[in-house]
Amino acid sequence: MEAGRVMRYLPFLAGLLTAAGIIYVAGVAPASFPRGTLHILIDVNLVLALAGLSSRYLIPGERPPAKAWFFDALFFVLLLLGFWLPVTPAGPLAASEIFLYLISISSLVREFAALRHSLGTTVMHPARLFAISFLGLIAMGSFLLLLPNATHGELSLIDAVFTATSAVCVTGLIVVDTGTFFTPLGQWILIGLMQLGGIGIMTFTSYFSFFFQGAASFDHQLLLHELTNTRQISQVFKTLKQIILLTFAIEATGCVLIFLSLDPAAFADLWSRWFFSIFHAVSGFCNAGFSTLSAGLFDAGFRFNYPLLLILAGLFILGGIGFPILFNGGQYLRYVIKRLWFINERARRGAHIPWVVNINTRLVLITTALLVVAGTCLFYFFEREITLSDHSDTGKWVTAFFSATTPRTAGFNSIDFAQVSLPASLLVIFLMWAGASPASTGGGIKTSTLAIAALNVLSLAKGKTRIEIFRREVADISVRRSYAVIMLSLLINVIAIFLVATWDADQGILKIVFECFSAYSTVGLSMGITPALSAPSKVVLILCMFVGRISLLTVMIAFFHRVWRARYRYPTEEILIN
């Protein structure tokens, strides 16, 4: 038992020490820095990782579940391969040395997943843990972006925190040029922050811990049940696996399509083209809005690449529509295929399975479609002779479609938003405020919130006492939650606008309103004032991005005492409203 405990923690501690060495060499030390000591440390880490991995299969009670055996066997082979790779003690990073770094970091992740850490709801409220996980990721990202080798110039602390928050909260507001200010290391750090922030770091850590341990406490499952909005506690880890696999599958597909849509002449080499595709695929699906182009997609070589705009639009629409909607769509697709091809006996008899497409999916899809169609038509009408004038007839519609969908938290710009007309600016602000859908990588008040508020207005106008749609009644808690989200979002934006206008009044009220709504809704669109803002205004936007990503209602739930059950009711009184 003692040997098992030692081999459980020793490889993890060695992995932490090795990771610190890798961060120093890659992020701080010059290229000519001798790395002999680090290579020795990596070798020791590989030995301990091999020993720790072997011990888990030899010590009774420590063996991982069968589903992890193949991956552990593959990992074992990669660890052995690490001993045979030739590396130089100094000089530029070679492919073999990058492999050693990756396998060392992978061993740290593997050992962390094997630790039996507790995240029970009895220790910490799920909402509080959710908020703290984002704060921790922002702090780690800020530290990594401050590494000398991550940038080509000196990055201030406030700008590092701003950029890390923008990446983790998948916003896309920038204070420095992503493509020229950050080195390849810094850009890879941004990719990692966008990926972890888009899906949620709790999703990754919890699923991989469960995968390699094979079990989880009921408290842990209850915690993740609340974080992922899963209908059944028993389906929590299945849902996490589906989220991760679906994310990587969509991003990989998007990456290939982006690569094929690019002009090879616009890139120095093949790897630059692939890196551009990887960066924008992750940024697109996670609704982050970061781009390695100095002018964004407004760059002269890309603004007329209409296939690229449509591919990116597809990515951030899929990312912003919500994982529950994607899963429900998959269920409906399987149902249709079974009925068409008579796969099972029930389908052959023409049996009907009611409510394959649930009310949440219907409401979100209809609201999304209305926002996309109305937004595209209105943007085309307002801007066809202004920012869309340089495009062909087809190009105007494609760009109008892209410009009307990107405000709903994607944040890519294929036009100069500082030049749009006032009506179009107000339209974009509304679309940013509406945002994406629940349980997605996007922000805003969410489409379902907007739909419930609109349905409630219609119900009151008809004299109804409840909201009914698709032969279902909307729960009272959903109505109250939607109005709480709307009120809190407007309150935060008003406070943010007031504060930024106090410190940076010279920027103009429209640009400040645009900037604050963009930050709170984690969009990332800007009229070009972000780098020029004062430090206090940047702090305000940092808070807006953080609160907008995790929701102010979540923050309040995390820190207010929650009354679980009220066993009394007071007499009801009507309050004069109108």
pLDDT tens readout for residues 64-110? 766 666 777 777 787 777 777 766 666 666 667 777 888 888 777 77
pLDDT at 93: 62
Residue 221: pLDDT band with limits 50, 70, 90? very low
Long-range contacts of 86-91, Cβ-Cβ distance < 8 Å, separation of 24 or more: 87/35, 87/39, 89/34, 89/35, 89/36, 89/39, 90/32, 90/33, 90/34, 90/35, 91/31, 91/32
The DSSP annotation for 183-202 comes to -HHHHHHHHHHHHHHHH-HH
Alpha carbon distances (Å) from 297 to 287, 388, 541? 15, 14, 23
Count of alpha carbons within 13 Å of 38, Cβ hemisphere only? Answer: 24
CA-based Rg of the chain, rounded to a whole angstrom?
25
- d(CA 450, CA 407) in angstroms, rounded, equals 16
Q: Is the Cα dihedral 142, 112, 51, 85 positive or negative? A: negative
pLDDT at 208: 44
pLDDT at 197: 84
Alpha carbon distances (Å) from 301 to 184, 189, 304, 306, 565? 21, 26, 7, 11, 60
Q: Is residue 343 a contact partner of residue 456, using CB atoms and an 8 Å limit?
A: no
Q: C-alpha angle with apex 347: 342 to 353, nearest 5 degrees? A: 145
Q: Is residue 182 a contact partner of residue 163, using CB atoms and an 8 Å limit?
A: no
| Biggest distance spanned by C-alpha atoms of the chain | 80
pLDDT at 250: 92
Quick check: helix, strand or coil at residue 186?
Answer: helix
In the numeric block, the tokens 């660890």 are attached to 79
Element (H, E) at 472: strand 472-473
pTM of the model: 0.85
pLDDT at 372: 94
pLDDT at 377: 95
pLDDT tens readout for residues 161-220? 999 999 998 888 899 999 899 998 899 999 999 988 887 654 544 444 444 444 444 444
Q: How far is CA 383 from the centre of its chain?
A: 30
- In 3D space, the residue among 326, 133, 136 whose CA is nearest the CA of residue 247 turns out to be 326
Question: Does the pLDDT at position 18 exceed 50?
Answer: yes
pLDDT tens readout for residues 431-462? 999 988 887 778 889 898 999 999 998 988 88
pLDDT at 425: 93
Both tokens assigned to 459: 């119900």
pLDDT at 121: 44
Most confident of 64-78, 209-223, 306-320, 552-566: 306-320
pLDDT at 5: 61
pLDDT tens readout for residues 497-546? 999 999 999 999 999 999 999 999 989 898 989 999 999 999 999 999 99
Average model confidence (pLDDT) across the chain: 81
Percent of the chain past pLDDT 90, that is, above it, reads 32
Question: Does the pLDDT at position 351 exceed 70?
Answer: no
pLDDT at 475: 84
- d(CA 199, CA 322) in angstroms, rounded, equals 11
**DSSP code for 475:** P
**DSSP code for 132:** H
CB atoms within 10 A of CB 99: 15
- d(CA 421, CA 442) in angstroms, rounded, equals 26
Q: Which residue has the higher pLDDT, 123 or 511?
A: 511
What's the one-letter identity of residue 71? Answer: F
Residue 182 β-bridge partners = 151
pLDDT at 2: 54
Both tokens assigned to 367: 């609201």
pLDDT at 573: 75
pLDDT at 204: 46
Q: Which residue has the higher pLDDT, 26 or 552?
A: 26
pLDDT tens readout for residues 384-434? 999 998 999 999 999 999 999 999 888 888 898 889 999 999 999 999 999
What angle separates helix 306-321 from helix 270-285, to the nearest 10 degrees?
A: 40
Element (H, E) at 433: helix 422-434
pLDDT at 533: 92
Both tokens assigned to 59: 């010590």
- d(CA 521, CA 536) in angstroms, rounded, equals 20
In the numeric block, the tokens 């493509």 are attached to 179
Q: Is residue 544 a contact partner of residue 499, using CB atoms and an 8 Å limit?
A: no
Q: C-alpha angle with apex 321: 313 to 515, nearest 5 degrees? A: 65
Residue 576: pLDDT band with limits 50, 70, 90? confident
- d(CA 171, CA 163) in angstroms, rounded, equals 9
Q: Is residue 16 a contact partner of residue 44, using CB atoms and an 8 Å limit?
A: no
- In 3D space, the residue among 426, 467, 427 whose CA is nearest the CA of residue 448 turns out to be 467
Count of alpha carbons within 13 Å of 493, Cβ hemisphere only? Answer: 26
Percent of the chain past pLDDT 70, that is, above it, reads 80
